[in-house]
Structure 1
């Protein structure tokens, strides 16, 4: 079903599975007889799933993801004597929450083996929904959670203004956004959460968004450009603090009323949890900031 959904052509799906087309057609017919519904229909655009087929495909992907997980767990236990934890992370948690979590778990569980995947939210949530990941860390929001998934709020993340180390503005106190007019900027891409929050902060201060020659959503590109110029940029505070402590940038002492959003963990609610997954959720539950009334 997964192959046919991705190929949208019975012949190509059969070839991908090393089956003859008649055998693949017979397998589909048997499956449709078992569930009692037509699962795919032939159209001028190819073979497409029906509403019932879409439901079955989702279950098929989750079943396949669970089967792969079982195989990986068995191999890790038998061949390496380890247990697995598969984490997905957005850049907003890659240098903050993720390293702290992994360090704590590795100290507590000497046989732990961690796979850490960085990506965009949509892709990570898709992998979580089919059991290819155990937990996704990063900024919450942006799209509805997959079915049977839940989010744990960890903390809210303000944003700050950064510059190259030793920038002339880094040592000046009492500055406001209006004092930065005329400066060169590297701005987040339009439509991103960071850009929207920055625009709102300038609007609340009664100022236009400053012009910029560079617009990027790349953290590494931003670091590289501010390191070779006197341009200013914005970052979530925790990420900026990580690079400031390593001498890669300065955080300007400028008050900016903007919040990047909630940082949290997304995980599946149901199903048997391996000890490493439960240990990770327990640590995250203890590490989160208490909710403020």
Structure 2
């Protein structure tokens, strides 16, 4: 068992000012510059640095001509100190917000049709439960949204599960399980709507709202026809917006492949029907993903806790109805 007493004692003796001065020494060309920016004397800079190194038990810097450079041990701990100082600044910002009554903001991206369907009621309920948190919901392609998350442009991303999102740096929470994929057609205009059975060859000859190349759903559609030794249907358009796709299906004879939950929403008004063909394909689970380095921030913590609570309620409700 690890003896935590020396760790706790050392943590209690290291002050934020120690870390700030150490980082300033690392980044400034001279002690004089450090002193000027910190608004203290050069002797105070040297004294603070010496005090920190005494408590650490090793030197952070070594002389290199007229300048200093990190020692081997210093190079290991200085990035950690930088992260702690940055977190302290974030905490100070949160405290200022709390004083003013502002509860922070949350930037949520969505990169899937199922994500849009899952996120709308979730965001509505969260907004009712946490009205003081400002919400910014953005949509876009998976690659662009995932890159935005990694660049700190988003706090959380709702998307289909993907192998590129499996990383120790990322937290993941499943929002919806995999769903069967079905084909939806206009109930009046599609010549396939009244069929008792439909084949892949029948589907291939019709106009389609096809997913954009490079997306998961595009790959699913291509694989579907490949199994029948067919190329993608030549007729139709590429479209990635769920609402625009809905309008095409409601007003034209275009076909679309959707997760069954999205299809049932579209067919509820009797404008569209699910065609009688078993595709044998599913979409991946829908997940929310975030950077673990930021999960301590209050708005994100509250959102994730809210998601977990809702999932627990849904699981309990499902068990009660069985």
TM range (shorter): 0.5 to 0.7
Instruction: For residue 203 of structure 1, report the CA deviation from its aligned partner.
Output: 2.9
Higher relative contact order (CA 8 A, sep 6+): 1
Other structure's SS at 2:178 match: strand
Give the distance between the partners of 2:309 and 2:129, measured in 1 at CA. Answer: 11
Matched, 1:230 2:253: yes
Structure 1 match to 2:264? 241
Give the distance between the partners of 2:139 and 2:97, measured in 1 at CA. Answer: 22
Give the distance between the partners of 2:84 and 2:277, measured in 1 at CA. Answer: 48
Structure 2 match to 1:148? 169
* 1:87-236 equivalence runs, <5 A: 87-129=108-150, 131-141=152-162, 143-145=164-166, 148-154=169-175, 155-168=177-190, 169-205=192-228, 207-236=230-259
Cα gap change, 1:87 to 1:189, in 2 (>3 Å): closer
More helix by share: 2
Structure 1 match to 2:296? 272
Cα gap change, 1:170 to 1:35, in 2 (>3 Å): farther
Give the distance between the partners of 2:263 and 2:195, measured in 1 at CA. Answer: 18
Q: Report if aligned partners of 1:176, 1:255 keep a CA contact under 8 Å in 2.
A: no
Other structure's SS at 1:116 match: strand
Q: Report if aligned partners of 1:187, 1:212 keep a CA contact under 8 Å in 2.
A: no
Give the distance between the partners of 2:214 and 2:285, measured in 1 at CA. Answer: 18
Instruction: Find the structure with the greater CA-based Rg.
Output: 2
Other structure's SS at 1:138 match: strand
Give the distance between the partners of 1:157 and 1:289, measured in 2 at CA. Answer: 17
Other structure's SS at 2:221 match: helix
Give the distance between the partners of 1:140 and 1:62, measured in 2 at CA. Answer: 31
Other structure's SS at 1:279 match: helix
Cα gap change, 1:130 to 1:204, in 2 (>3 Å): closer
Give the distance between the partners of 1:204 and 1:246, measured in 2 at CA. Answer: 33
Give the distance between the partners of 2:208 and 2:85, measured in 1 at CA. Answer: 48
Taking structure 2 as the reference length, the TM-score comes to 0.59
- Superposition RMSD in Å: 4.2
- Number of aligned positions between the proteins: 246
Instruction: For residue 98 of structure 1, report the CA deviation from its aligned partner.
Output: 0.8
Structure 2 unaligned residues grouped into runs of 5+? 1-26, 35-60, 62-66, 317-322
Q: Report if aligned partners of 2:111, 2:159 keep a CA contact under 8 Å in 1.
A: yes
Instruction: For residue 211 of structure 1, report the CA deviation from its aligned partner.
Output: 1.9
Q: Summarize deviations over 1:76-121 as a string: whole Å, max 9, x none.
A: 6455554543322113344322123223323444544322222233
Structure 1 unaligned residues grouped into runs of 5+? 1-26, 38-51
Instruction: For residue 201 of structure 1, report the CA deviation from its aligned partner.
Output: 1.9
Structure 2 match to 1:43? none
Q: Report if aligned partners of 1:159, 1:260 keep a CA contact under 8 Å in 2.
A: yes
Q: Report if aligned partners of 1:87, 1:133 keep a CA contact under 8 Å in 2.
A: yes
Cα gap change, 1:74 to 1:167, in 2 (>3 Å): farther
